[in-house]
């Protein structure tokens, strides 16, 4: 989807769909008899909508001002969603005069740009006609708002493009979207940016480099595991920010077999890895002056003669051993190896943040709107919470301390991968993971089991979260570093 920012109403494309508010200064530019009636209706708190007597527009929608100003309940998005189900025009004019003054701007822009993907686009329905879609979003603002809005559009367009890439990949059925397929798609997408380069470990190199946990999870499948590292060189030197994603392309549960209903959406168990890829693409599009590494731990947790068995012990690349007492707790195994491998790559690692659809328990605790955040680094915790509020992609911090120690104790190995008491499942998983990041490197874990999918109309599709959160955090972090390292005034 293309976009443009305008301050002159005379340049709107003829036949556009105008979405505005009752108090917008834009309305003064048009002498339409129906506007007075629509304004009166909108000021009563009702949505006013017309496709008649709108020239030069094909449609005018007036949303009450309270929706434009709401920052918590997504009232504006609730009003917008039905308008885009069957758009009457491929050109939409979004009146941003109120958006620039409220905290809902970024989520709204991201949402509109994300309309560029739907399940129909995968081409898996025969005889499906091309759907109507918005091709150009025009943002109208006052001249004094133009610079702020231009920055917002540019950032959210890049964020949405990363989300779109992640969503398209995650929505693909798992018989196609294998570990090797993810690698090939990532390589194809990364070629679009000269600042991105890919490094791949195949199943033999995974064993040679000692990633025994990733090997244990992937060895039961005929589709072998991969470790993909994407390097972004937006600066010649300096510390490296690192992101790690769980990429279980399908999760049967292994020999600890899931029931059928629980297996249905398991093609989405690689959303963490898909979102790391999308994040790297967003960073590259924004051309941020920083070094970043994204690591995708890719495997299929399948049943076969070589599948890992409950009670087996595997060794990670940092030398620690893990008793696998539940083969359906495989995500923390591949993450643990990937975190340890990532921590060993750069002596100047600024932080490591991992993301994963790790536990159903976090959904019971936080629902579908909040990602679970677990870290022992207070600065990183505060930064991520703040970035979540600023971006509209919020997190909620859960405890992570020595109280969890007994949850990962094993009689035969250094650690076990699940607690036997079925308590504090999300935090116990994070406690296991923290052993694989050296204490001198700030580390945070994001459990996105509730937020990695959008759930509408009884269907689940990939959401692209927490890419908005992490882009905002990175922007904030770069701003902080620039401020903190500025030369002292004489």
Which of 180, 184, 257 lies closest to 222 in space, CA to CA? 180
Can you name the residues that pair with 445 across neighbouring β-strands? 354, 374
Say if CB 461 and CB 273 are below 8 A apart: no
Distance CA 196, CA 187 (A): 9
Q: 187 phi and psi, to 5 degrees?
A: -60, -40
One-character DSSP codes across 209-267: TT-HHHHHHHTTSSS--EEEEEEEESSSSS-EEEEEEEEEEEE--TTSPPPHHHHTTGG
In whole angstroms, give the CA distance from residue 480 to residue 483.
5
Known catalytic membership, residue 128:
no
Q: How many angstroms separate the CA atoms of 209 and 238, rounded?
A: 26
Burial 402-429, CB ≥16 within 10 A → b, else e: eebeebbeeeebbbbbbbeeeebbbbbb
**Contacts of 292 by beta carbon, 8 Å cutoff, 6+ apart:** 231, 232, 234, 240, 241, 242, 243, 280, 283, 474
Q: Are 174 and 248 in contact (CB under 8 A)?
A: no
Structure tokens that stand for 30 in this block: 């048009």
CA 488/CA 472 separation, integer angstroms? 27
Among the listed residues 315, 332, 381, 465, the single catalytic one is 332
Compute how many other C-beta atoms are within 10 angstroms of the C-beta atom of residue 378. Answer: 9
Enter the DSSP assignment of 259: P
State the catalytic residue, choosing from 43, 258, 345, 390.
258
Residue 332 annotated as catalytic: yes
3-state per-residue secondary structure call for 388-425 = HHHHCCCEEECCCCHHHHHHHCCCCCCEECCCCCCCCH
Active site residues: 258, 332
């Amino acid at each position: 989807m293309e976009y443009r920012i305008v301050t002159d109403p005379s340049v709107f494309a003829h036949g556009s769909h105008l979405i505005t508010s009752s108090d917008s200064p834009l309305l003064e530019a048009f002498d339409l008899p129906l506007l007075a009636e629509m304004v009166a209706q909108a000021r009563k708190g009702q949505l006013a909508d017309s496709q008649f007597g709108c020239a030069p527009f094909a449609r005018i929608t007036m949303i009450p001002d309270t929706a434009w100003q709401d920052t918590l309940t997504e009232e504006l998005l609730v009003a917008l969603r039905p308008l885009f189900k069957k758009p009457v025009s491929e050109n939409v004019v979004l009146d941003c005069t109120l958006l620039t003054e409220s905290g809902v701007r970024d989520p709204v822009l991201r949402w509109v740009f994300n309309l560029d993907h739907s399940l129909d686009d995968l081409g898996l329905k025969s005889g499906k006609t091309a759907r109507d879609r918005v091709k150009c979003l025009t943002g109208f603002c006052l001249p004094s708002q133009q610079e702020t809005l231009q920055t917002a559009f540019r950032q959210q367009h890049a964020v949405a493009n990363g989300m779109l890439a992640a969503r398209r990949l995650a929505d693909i059925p798992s018989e196609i979207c294998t570990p090797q397929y993810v690698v090939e798609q990532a390589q194809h997408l990364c070629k679009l940016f000269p600042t991105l380069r890919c490094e791949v470990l195949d199943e033999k190199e995974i064993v040679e480099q000692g990633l025994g946990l990733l090997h244990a999870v992937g060895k039961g499948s005929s589709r072998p595991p991969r470790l993909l590292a994407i390097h972004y060189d937006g600066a010649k030197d300096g510390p490296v920010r690192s992101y790690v994603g769980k990429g279980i392309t399908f999760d049967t549960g292994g020999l600890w077999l899931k029931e059928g209903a629980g297996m249905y959406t398991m093609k989405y168990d690689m959303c963490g890895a898909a979102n790391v890829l999308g994040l790297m693409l967003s960073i590259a599009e924004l051309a941020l002056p920083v070094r970043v590494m994204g690591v995708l731990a890719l495997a299929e947790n399948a049943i076969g003669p070589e599948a890992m068995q409950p009670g087996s012990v595997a060794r990670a690349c940092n030398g620690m051993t893990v008793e696998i007492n539940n083969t359906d707790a495989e995500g923390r195994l591949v993450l643990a190896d990937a975190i340890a491998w990532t921590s060993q790559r750069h002596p100047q690692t600024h932080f490591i943040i991992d993301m994963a659809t790790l536990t159903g328990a976090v959904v019971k605790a936080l629902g579908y709107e909040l990602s679970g955040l677990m870290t022992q680094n207070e600065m990183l915790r505060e930064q991520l919470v703040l970035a979540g509020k600023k971006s509209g992609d919020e997190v909620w911090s859960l405890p992570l301390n020595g109280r969890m120690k007994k949850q990962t104790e094993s009689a035969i190995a250094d650690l076990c991968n699940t607690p036997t008491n079925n308590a504090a499942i999300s935090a116990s998983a994070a406690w296991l993971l923290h052993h694989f990041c050296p204490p001198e490197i700030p580390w945070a874990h994001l459990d996105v089991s509730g937020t990695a999918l959008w759930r509408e109309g009884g269907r689940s599709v990939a959401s692209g979260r927490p890419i908005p959160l992490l882009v905002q955090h990175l922007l904030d972090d770069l701003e902080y570093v620039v401020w903190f390292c500025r030369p002292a005034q004489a």
